[in-house]
Structure 1
Amino acid sequence: MKFNDLDLKNWKDTDICVDSLQIYPNRDKSGKHKNIYHGNFIPQIPNQLIRRYTKSGECVFEPFMGSGTTLFECENLNRKYMGFDINQNIINYVKSSMQSSKFSDYFIAKCNSMDLDSVNQNFISQDINSVQFVLMHPPYMDIVKFTDDQNDLSQCSDINEFMAKFKIVCVNSLKFLDKNRYFAVVIGDVYKNSEVLPLGFYCMDMIKQNFKVKLKGIVVKNIEGNRGKLGSGGIWTYRALNSDYYIFKHEYILVFKKEF
């Protein structure tokens, strides 16, 4: 079934990437997009996903809004948007970024996405019963602590605690996603206690074990323009050679289809 506005009669002209390995030379810095928030993902990710898995006028939901990257893409692509974040400071930043915008089909709120009552109340307040795409870009455990709130997943240093909390977010978010529609998790691995902790694979397994979904894609994405990744002679290369690890140069985009 087709859930997008792509013209497949002219499929050779599309710029939608369907490769499981996606390498971007740099991040899109046009419009409202600014790299001001540690860990925000490049705009190309939501742009590609929104155009492939939604139609104009449909609604995209984010339980981890961050600095508004997906909202700005929804504004550009004429999609409705709903986003929550636990960080009031970043909520204020996004609101200020949208002050002069003529785009009104969006709602953002400070909300703990693990709190089902709060999630439900926000959806009810907007008279929204369902969404057509969910995009989740959770913190990568405690690599960067975004707030002091203990409900913030960036406060989790234990993988079991993180997965238990992320599962609750998935339950609360996916209940609003229409059946047979798609959602994506953007996640990277972490390095703790002198070894790689494959956070992306843990998330993928948790979702497969607890929800009736089909895994439609494991996309490995890299942006070559990241500081610290440029060239082969940088200080990180020396550190890696002087030790026993490899430099993280990728994240995963896990795409699922909801079947419940």
Structure 2
Amino acid sequence: MPKFNDLDLNNGNWKKYEDILTDSLWIINERDKSGKHSNFYHGNFVPQIPYQLIKRYTKKGGWVLDLFLGSGTTAIECEKLERNIIGIDLKEELVARAKELIASDKIQKHFGLGDSGSEETKKDIQKILKHHKKTGVDLVLLHPPYFDIIKFSEDKKDLSNAGNLQDFLNMFHNVLQNSFELLKSGGYMGVVIGDKYANSEWIPLGFQCMNEAQKVGFKLKSIIVKNMEGNRGKIGSGGIWRYRALNSDYYIFKHEYILIFKK
């Protein structure tokens, strides 16, 4: 059994984990809509992503940190898989929703309002971990805005309001620095990020964010490419996008990255 998860691989048991993806290409055609999951929030990621990473890189009773809480997708999976969760978001209504949504006493849960890249937020999380006698979380999951593609708020601390690409990367660097300091030695981080197209040029946002994580000190373990289906902004308009692509010199976005790092 790997020391960082609960998978029992002995005596041929590894064959029963057919739901665990091990390839670097993930084909997920439809989001999981079961249980408490809802697609009400523009920009949330499919629940299958946190499910996969939590199963691979934590044990029951372990600790997961989500610094872009959003609609609570990671928190819902933590509750289902019996992992403890710390979630941070800039929007008060999302924090309040998570507190109502995750009411089970099966796990420890802490949801807070704050800037995930700030010293104050880092210290607040360190107090929580100290209270539970933990030196760090087992897994960090980050699903940041893809720069300014979707505006999530009017808050200047919101990464989607960064004035330019370099400002975005600087702000995300601060989040990564906090993640590194809050993650235990030997712990893992997953970053879900896509690229951007602007001014007739492909912006490799995913690789730029990967580079920022490496600057902080994270070791890159895997680059997973996930197909992007059901994009709310493109539902019902596939023909239009195909025509635009044929009439121009670019390819349609059909993927995003899941970057796996280790401390």
| TM-score of the two chains, using structure 2 as the length reference | 0.91
- Match of 1:82? 86
Task: Give the Cα–Cα distance (whole angstroms) in 1 for the partners of residues 57 and 39 of structure 2.
Answer: 25
- Which of residues 106, 116, 120 in structure 2 aligns to 1:117? 120
- Match of 1:140? 146
1:23: Cα distance to partner?
Answer: 0.5
2:221 counterpart letter in structure 1: K
Instruction: Verify: 1:199 aligned to 2:205, yes or no.
Output: yes
Task: Give the Cα–Cα distance (whole angstroms) in 2 for the partners of residues 123 and 180 of structure 1.
Answer: 18
Please tell me whether the aligned partners of residues 23 and 224 of structure 1 are also in contact (alpha carbons under 8 angstroms).
no
- Match of 1:218? 223
Please tell me whether the aligned partners of residues 222 and 249 of structure 1 are also in contact (alpha carbons under 8 angstroms).
yes
Which deviations, in whole Å up to 9, do the C-alpha atoms of 1:109-150 show, x marking residues without a partner? 111112112331243156254111101111111111111110
Task: Give the Cα–Cα distance (whole angstroms) in 1 for the partners of residues 80 and 172 of structure 2.
Answer: 29
Task: Give the Cα–Cα distance (whole angstroms) in 2 for the partners of residues 208 and 122 of structure 1.
Answer: 23
Instruction: Verify: 1:48 aligned to 2:49, yes or no.
Output: no
- Which of residues 160, 170, 174 in structure 1 aligns to 2:176? 170
1:65 counterpart letter in structure 2: L
Which deviations, in whole Å up to 9, do the C-alpha atoms of 1:185-218 show, x marking residues without a partner? 110001112211010000111211331x321100
| TM-score of the two chains, using structure 1 as the length reference | 0.92
**Structure 1: runs of 5+ lacking an equivalent:** none
Q: Which moved more, 1:216-225 or 1:106-115?
A: 216-225
1:12-31 matched pairs, under 5 angstroms: 12-14=15-17, 15-31=19-35
Q: Which moved more, 1:108-117 or 1:76-85?
A: 108-117
1:41 counterpart letter in structure 2: F
Q: Which moved more, 1:3-12 or 1:55-64?
A: 3-12
Instruction: Verify: 1:248 aligned to 2:253, yes or no.
Output: yes
Task: Give the Cα–Cα distance (whole angstroms) in 2 for the partners of residues 80 and 253 of structure 1.
Answer: 22
1:31-46 matched pairs, under 5 angstroms: 31-46=35-50
Please tell me whether the aligned partners of residues 4 and 54 of structure 1 are also in contact (alpha carbons under 8 angstroms).
yes
Change (3 A) 1:125 1:59: closer
Q: Which moved more, 1:142-151 or 1:124-133?
A: 124-133
**Structure 2: runs of 5+ lacking an equivalent:** none
Task: Give the Cα–Cα distance (whole angstroms) in 2 for the partners of residues 254 and 176 of structure 1.
Answer: 18
Count, aligned residues: 256
Instruction: Verify: 1:7 aligned to 2:14, yes or no.
Output: no
Task: Give the Cα–Cα distance (whole angstroms) in 2 for the partners of residues 121 and 232 of structure 1.
Answer: 45
* Secondary structure of 2:253's aligned partner: coil
Change (3 A) 1:208 1:118: closer
Task: Give the Cα–Cα distance (whole angstroms) in 2 for the partners of residues 3 and 25 of structure 1.
Answer: 29
Instruction: Verify: 1:58 aligned to 2:62, yes or no.
Output: yes
Q: Which moved more, 1:127-136 or 1:227-236?
A: 227-236
Task: Give the Cα–Cα distance (whole angstroms) in 2 for the partners of residues 81 and 123 of structure 1.
Answer: 13
2:3 counterpart letter in structure 1: K
- Matched-pair identity in %: 52
* Secondary structure of 1:186's aligned partner: strand
1:151: Cα distance to partner?
Answer: 0.7
- Which of residues 85, 91, 95 in structure 1 aligns to 2:95? 91
For the aligned residue pairs, the C-alpha RMSD in angstroms reads 1.9
2:67 counterpart letter in structure 1: P
Task: Give the Cα–Cα distance (whole angstroms) in 1 for the partners of residues 148 and 258 of structure 2.
Answer: 20
